[in-house]
Structure formats: C-alpha cells, structure tokens
Amino acid sequence: MQNNKIVVAYSGGLDTSVMVKWLSKKYNAEIITVTGNLGQKSELINLEEKALSTGASKAYIVNLQKEFIEDYAWKALKGGALYEGEYPLATAIGRPLLAKLMVEIAQKEGANMVAHGCTGKGNDQVRFEVGMKTLDPNLEILAPLREWEFKSREEEIEYAKANDIPVSAKLEKLYSIDENIWGIATECGILEDTSQAPPDDAYQMTINPKNAPQESVVIKITFEKGIPTKIDGVEMPGTQLVSTLNDIGGKHGIGRLDIIENRVVGIKSREVYEAPGAMILHEAHRQLEKLTLDKDTFRYKQNASNTYANLIYDGFWFTPLFDSLTAFFDKVQERVTGEVTLELYKGTIKILSRISENSLYSQELATYTEEDAFNHKDAEGFINITSLPHQVITRHTKNKFVVVKS
C-alpha cells in the first residue's frame, strides 16, 4: 500500500526521470507526472511512454499553448514587461501557468504532495513554489534537486542504469535550455565565462545576423487594444502569429540577447536568449503606444512596466499588485489599436510606418511650415510658470550651480 501520491512536474530529461523513481522509493508514493506543452519543440516526443516506463501510474501532457499566449504572453506584452530592460520573460511567464496546472491536477487526483525538478539556486524554484503555495497552501512541495545525494550528471546516469530508467542523456550536455513559444533561454557551459562571446551552437531558433539574407523583409502587424491580431492583413490566432514571427524573425537573425541578469536569489547569471517573435511584438507595440498614448500615461506606464517585469521575474503572478497593474494596463491598451510596419534586416528591427485611428500626433502642431497651428507665444508663460519654484529658490538662497569666476 502506497502512503503518498505525488504529482511531479515532468520534462522527461535526466533530472525529472531520476526524480520519478527516487520519489516513489523515498516516499513510498504513487507518482503522476504532469507536462505542460508551452510550445517546446524537442521535449514532447514519446513522453507519456517514457513516464510510464519510469514508474509513473499516469502521465498528463496538457497543451497549454493557447492559454499561454492569450493569458500570459499578451499580459506581458501589454504591460511592456522586459526584465532589466531587455529579457522578454519567456521562462518566467511559463512558470505560474505550470504551477496552476500542477495544483489543478494535484487537487483532481487527491495528491498530498507536488514535486519539481528545479535547482536550489535558480529563479524557477521560487516561481513554481510561490505560485503553488499561493494557489494551494496545503500542498506539500518537494524539491529533490535541493536535497538528493547525486552530485553530478554521471551519478544520476548511474542511478538511472541501476534502476532501469530509460534515459537518452549524453554525459556531456553543452547547455541548460528552457524553451517555449515566447522564447528560448540557454545557459551553462562556455556561456558561464562572461568574457567569451556565445558560440553559434548556443542558438537554435535564430540565424547569426551576419549570415542572414541580404534582402530585408517588411511586415505589417495589426493591434487591437494592445493585442496583435494580424500579420500583413491576415488574421490569425495568437499562437500562430507568434510562431510565424519566430520563423520570419529567426531567418533574419532577430531577437538574440546576451545578458547578465540579477537572479531572485541575488546571484548574477549570464543567459543567452532567443525570442524573435516576442522582440518584434514588443518593438511594434511600443511604437504604437508612442503614437496613441498621451505624455503622462506613457511616462507613468514606463515605471509600471518595470514593476510588472520585476513581479513576473520574481514569481508574484497570483498577487493583488500584479492583478491591479494588469487592470491598469488593460485600461491603457483601449487606445492601442492600429498598424505598425517594420523592416527586419540582419538582426535589426526598423520602424517604417505607424497608423492609428487613435493617433495623438497632430501634423498641424508638429510642423515647422506655415501650416503651424501652435501658438509660440504660449511658450513664454509656460516657461515662466514651470520654472517659478526654482526662480524662488534662487532669489532666496545662493545659487549653488553658478560659480562666479574672479
């Protein structure tokens, strides 16, 4: 008789395969594996078979791609969420969705424990566990990689052999890779040396911009209330739209990032990302916001975006502040409708045109020709009043910025 039922977040790689057996022995447990399909290409083949032959009693593989794009990626896009100004958060937005899936299946199956295969120094353990604890504080969470006896991949492979666990892992694995439809994250190996440029084999979704076609490509993206709906006038579902942009962008070397980032636990890490679709959409979306949002809203949103990105990175998706900021962004996005035309060329994205029924650009006000409708005289009073507090300071105290030279 088994005492425990554990739902395991499963990828089919070496760690989670070993974990299934290790947990079932250690906790005398029935194991149910759960895999969320977020558009990772390589990892899903024969997964159910693999899980069952490793000792799981049941293997869930759930296609979450639509939900991932519509409820997670679109929020990040509308919120302008780029962590530390750059990283489009592909891995980070996937974790809360997987945490939710784990909790739903644990509750449905009546499991008393959940387990994941994240390491003890990364962000993903935090995101997973903060997410799961927030959604169901009663579940016991296990993180075997933080406590088990194996000190290397070799030892895990030994254990796998001894326990008839089918693993295809090679001893040398060049990189640690996390993949979904919003982007790929790659670290470890030579990438740990920050003085070295990433070798070409660290990339799989994008071509080296140097080798990209000599001919640029022009694409038009239509947004409705901040959500991209069409490419070149053709309406398509979000998942298809993102993967189309991944293909086109990848061919032109778009969306490669090489970043040093601050992890939640305080470590700095070097990560290489590929996110052609996400980077194209962020750029197009930002350009449309510049056309359609008033100055104060645009400026305020920049700060809110930074907070939003930090919340996502740190795993605080299911929280009141995240919800409130989401409502703010949704309100702001009511104006962000229109078309943006971009040119992709050897790793660069250039804006060619932006059009919107909600455009706040007035050529009459902007022009320097005789059509100019701006009253230049108004500027004088404006400058007097906006500088008034500072004039008062100088009248009452010595101005520390002016040094009279004798």
Binding site for ligand ARG (CB under 6 A): 91-92, 123, 176-178, 185-187, 271
Q: What are phi and psi of 69, to 5 degrees?
A: -70, -50
* Annotation says 263 is catalytic: no
Edge-to-edge strands, sheet with 113-115: 58-63, 29-37, 4-9, 113-115, 140-142
- If the CB atoms of residues 55 and 255 are measured against ligand ARG, the closer one turns out to be 255
- If the CB atoms of residues 176 and 297 are measured against ligand ARG, the closer one turns out to be 176
- If the CB atoms of residues 2 and 262 are measured against ligand ARG, the closer one turns out to be 262
CB of 274 to ligand ARG, least distance (A): 11
| Token output for 232 | 């070149």
- If the CB atoms of residues 271 and 283 are measured against ligand ARG, the closer one turns out to be 271
Cα distances (Å, whole numbers) of residue 218 to 254, 344, 404: 13, 6, 57
CB of 62 to ligand ARG, least distance (A): 20
* Annotation says 176 is catalytic: yes
Is residue 32 classed as helix, strand or coil in its secondary structure?
A: strand
CB of 80 to ligand ARG, least distance (A): 17
Which of the residues 11, 15, 256, 305 is marked catalytic? 15
- If the CB atoms of residues 98 and 185 are measured against ligand ARG, the closer one turns out to be 185
CB of 187 to ligand ARG, least distance (A): 4
Is residue 380 classed as helix, strand or coil in its secondary structure?
A: helix
Which of the residues 53, 176, 216, 243 is marked catalytic? 176
Which of the residues 11, 95, 127, 305 is marked catalytic? 95
What is the distance between the alpha carbons of residues 380 and 86, in angstroms, rounded to a whole number? Answer: 40
Which of the residues 124, 256, 286, 335 is marked catalytic? 124
Is residue 251 classed as helix, strand or coil in its secondary structure?
A: helix
CB of 123 to ligand ARG, least distance (A): 4
Cα distances (Å, whole numbers) of residue 50 to 37, 77, 192, 277: 16, 36, 31, 32
* Annotation says 15 is catalytic: yes
Nearest to 353 by CA among 334, 340, 338: 340
What is the distance between the alpha carbons of residues 101 and 32, in angstroms, rounded to a whole number? Answer: 13
| Token output for 104 | 């739903």
* Annotation says 95 is catalytic: yes
What are the catalytic residues? 15, 95, 124, 176
